[in-house]
A and B are shown apart, each in its own frame.
Chain A
Amino acid sequence: MAAGVATWLPFARAAAVGWLPLAKKIMPKPPVDKKSRNDEILFVNVSGLRFQTWKNTLDRYPDTLLGSSEKEFFYNEDTQEYFFDRDPEMFRHILNFYRTGKLHYPRQECIQAFDEELAFYGIVPDIIGDCCMEEYRDRKKENQERLAEDTEAEMATDTPLPPHSTHRERLWRAFENPHTSTMALVFYYVTGFFIAVSVIANVVETVPCRPLKGSKKDLPCGEKYSLAFFCMDTACVLIFTFEYLMRLFAAPSRCKFMRSVMSVIDVVAIMPYYIGLVMPENEDVSGAFVTLRVFRVFRIFKFSRHSQGLRILGYTLKSCASELGFLLFSLTMAIIIFATVMFYAEKGTKGTNFTSIPASFWYTIVTMTTLGYGDMVPNTIAGKIFGSICSLSGVLVIALPVPVIVSNFSRIYHQNQRADKMRAQQKVRLARIRLAKKGTTNAFLQYKEEGGFHIHNHLLHCLEKTTNHEFTDELTFSEMCMTESVGYRTSRSTSISSQQGELTSCCPRRAKRRAIRLANSTASVSRDSVQELDTLQVHKTSAGPQSRSSLNARTEDLKLNCEDRDFTAAIISIPTPPANTPDDSLPPSPAIPGILRNSRTSSYIHETVKISSL
């Protein structure tokens, strides 16, 4: 937990004492503590309720209001406290976040109020702990949906038109919200009436009417009064066509409109008429023509524009598709099984109806749905036994899933949606939390006033000195692996041989590494003991200590950041006894042969460096 890390810093430094006997070099000086680290208690007054807490507690999250210098704006000199004119109950939860590191969502509070408080105090809601996250998300989604519905309903009702709308926009609006103008309402009801008329006409024209004089056969009314029906049909289709064309003209996005369900229904409703017009009165094709007439019944679906309930039903069915599919699948399985069994059971009977397995499907379906028409009955004993099993299982197969589907529908549907969304959002959310955590840890480790960061940095330097190796990042490491053969030449000369590393790609301005060998006359020196100048590269990052931008902070390695514009590089050489020279027992003199300077700096400066740590 980031909060506790600072307080364990003394422990980490104490543990560093264990490295000292092993250290190959002298430890670097620790940074000077500018201020004494006395902790103080802060008073926070939130609408009269006084809270007190350690300053350290608030400093744990420097990119929030209370952790940064932004709280100074709320400082009251007279009462020596920070005054916030906000909800004290909510503040309790906010303060607990600082104390425990976990943000909890209070269930009895309104989600919007909670969000507002979080936004005020600069806390990202993603940090809400897992215990409360689901509840929070549910409430938030609910709230958003409700708000969306409200705004939709609001927009649907009498909002005034924008002043300079074109005829097209007004027409579209009239079509979508018929309540806005009288003309639209009239048109709405007229179309509704004609849909009803058309449907009724379709139905009535098949009813048998009294036959014509002189003939015995009953005629369907459609043929008796064919002209009347034809006129009515024509009128309806004309109106529907007119309506469709108007909608098409007024639609803001024609492609989208043409792809929408309602427009498809419209087209399907009027197409048979035109096809019928075009086709000749031919006996051969009249059969197909009659089939097309069936599609006229789709006009009834045009009612869905007029009825909210139909739309909801359609949406329900569409969203329940997987459950219905499961029902269908299990039914199909059972049907196939029982049809096969019945077929083979009844195969021997003479004159049986079960002529093939597909023929047995009908029997199975009728039996399983407990219809039992009786047009196909088994005659053999085995057939009867299996028939009864079939009808019993039919009861189970059909009666069970249906209520389960109905009740599961909303539960599974919502659950599925939530699970999928959560899975998709999980990665993003985790990444954001990681970033937020890193940001807080980085910034926390910066320790702007107390210099605690510098101590941590110092600790890492000590480790480097102990092992005589330095931290680098992956990039330079791979570079070095590639160029190692070119790198080091060891010579026995006492002169300073300068060598240059081939690290060029990343930071062209990085100071080149030079190797200096101390005078050593006797033994051969392995590569490990080649004395190097330590290149301490400390980069000044762009984010100043006072900023609250740490949430967007890049996580960088200790050393290298090639994108920074200015950096300081100081090169200090520290002598070390060479590795395997048995007779060299003289302690090296702490001579500093030379300090190469970069043109920018002149001394070893501590700058704030971001360390990626969790």
Chain B
Amino acid sequence: MGVVFGTFSMHTKQVTFRTDNVDDELEMTMVCHRPEGLEQLEAQTNFTKQELQVLYRGFKNECPSGVVNEETFKHIYAQFFPHGDASTYAHYLFNAFDTRNDGSIKFEDFVMGLSTLLRGTVREKLEWTFHLYDINRDGFINKEEMTEIVRAIYDMMGKYTYPALKGDVPKQHVDVFFEKMDKNKDGVVTLEEFVLACQEDENMMRSMQLFENVM
């Protein structure tokens, strides 16, 4: 019996040929980038030298080539939100950090973004957030863009939430947002409307203070 089985097992062995795509990967990792000097970065951002050192060490560990591409970025961000799917929001975040729009984030971009968000003025933070929401960079946030962002955020929650996500919750959320932000009811939110509305919102200002100076 074993002989019979052995015979047939030998016949059905498949041979797979591995395509040689190792070379492509090698090429990609050759791209290397070194950041500007520590002094310059310290001057440009609101971080101290020690903080920059700590940040760079973590950055370099995760991305030895000196640049983050979108895949790595999504992967890192997804680790913080294991319940849901953080990739869409990470995509928008990536675009927000990638100020030069070339598909990669260098350490300088990263640190600048962090400096604005953690150590910047309220106005700067709000501007940054506006740029995050304004997906097509036309200076206006319309309902579609906002819906995309809100959906991305709800995606991070995952499926198992309380209360369950029924109906079109993101859309309603967007409606609420537009009620608050769109002062002249023209269907889009400009930067000034956005900043004004946020500054009027006491809760938001209080929440923003909670994120002051964290590292």
Contact = CB atoms under 8 A, between A and B. Distances in A.
Interface of A: 1, 3-27, 29-30, 37-39, 321-326, 328-329, 455-456, 459-460, 463-464, 466-467, 469-474, 476-477, 480-481, 484, 526-528, 532, 557-558, 577, 579-580, 582, 587, 611-614
Interface in B74-116: 76-77, 79-83, 93, 96, 110, 113-114
Given A14-B117, A579-B176, A480 B82 contact: no
B207 A23 contact: yes
Interface stretch (B24-32, B37-45, B55-63): B55-63
Contacts of B110: 11
Nearest to A10: B215
B128 to A, nearest CB: 7
Contact of B215 (A27, A37, A324, A459): A37
A577 B172 CA distance: 13
Of B157, B158, B172, most buried by chain A (CB within 10 Å of CB) is: B157
A455 B125 CA distance: 20
Contact of A12 (B50, B80, B82): B80
A17 B3 contact: no
Nearest to A487: B163
Contacts, number: 198
Contact of A17 (B117, B158, B179): B117
17 contacts: A4-B61, A7-B54, A8-B76, A18-B96, A20-B204, A20-B211, A21-B129, A22-B149, A24-B173, A25-B203, A26-B203, A26-B206, A328-B7, A477-B162, A527-B166, A580-B176, A587-B202
Interface in B101-158: 110, 113-114, 117-118, 125-126, 128-129, 132-133, 149-150, 153-154, 156-158
A21 B198 contact: yes
B208 A18 contact: no
B3 A324 contact: yes
A473 B7 CA distance: 50
B211 A16 contact: yes
B55 A7 contact: yes
A322 B118 contact: no
A3, A8, A473: most-surrounded residue (chain B CB, <10 A)? A8
B80 A477 contact: no
Nearest to A473: B160
A19 B153 contact: yes
B66 to A, nearest CB: 14
Contacts of B81: 460, 463
Contact of B153 (A30, A467, A557, A614): A467
Contact of A8 (B58, B150, B162, B207): B58
Contacts of B175: 580
B159 interface: yes
Given A4-B62, A37-B215, A463-B157, A329 B204 contact: no
A21 B176 contact: no
B207 to A, nearest CB: 4
Contacts of A9: 80
A371 B89 CA distance: 78
A325 B4 contact: yes
Nearest to A501: B162
Contacts of B181: 21
A267 to B, nearest CB: 23
Contact of B162 (A323, A325, A480, A577): A480
A22 B162 contact: no
Interface string B188-215: 0000001000100111101110110011
Interface in B4-58: 4-7, 9-11, 50, 54-55, 57-58
Contacts of A323: 6, 10
Nearest to B47: A10
Contacts of A24: 173, 176
Contact of A580 (B83, B172, B208): B172
Residue of A38, A321, A582 most packed against chain B (CB within 10 A)? A321
Nearest to B150: A22
A322 B77 contact: no
Contacts of B4: 325
Contacts of B206: 26
A321 B176 CA distance: 75
Contacts of B93: 15, 18
B184 interface: no
Contacts of B83: 471, 557-558
A587 B197 CA distance: 13
Given A22-B150, A463-B157, A614 B82 contact: yes
A33 B77 CA distance: 22
Contacts of B76: 4-5, 8, 11
Contact of B156 (A23, A326, A455, A463): A463
B192 to A, nearest CB: 14
Contacts of B6: 321-323, 325-326
A324 B204 CA distance: 79
Contacts of B55: 7, 10
A456 B80 CA distance: 7
Contacts of B96: 18
A594 to B, nearest CB: 21
Nearest to A320: B6
Which 10 residue pairs are nearest across A and B when measured between Cβ atoms?
A: A322-B6, A7-B58, A325-B3, A14-B117, A613-B82, A4-B62, A27-B207, A477-B160, A469-B161, A325-B7
A470 B6 CA distance: 56
Contacts of B167: 528
Contacts of B114: 10-11, 14
Contacts of A3: 61
Contacts of A459: 80
A6 B61 CA distance: 12
A324 B3 CA distance: 7
Given A322-B6, A580-B172, A18 B132 contact: yes
Contacts of A329: 7
Given A21-B198, A22-B153, A580-B175, A328 B54 contact: no
A445 B164 CA distance: 28
Contacts of A587: 201-203
Contacts of B61: 1, 3-4, 7
A476 B9 contact: no
B154 A467 contact: yes
A17 B58 contact: no
Contact of B77 (A1, A12, A21, A466): A12
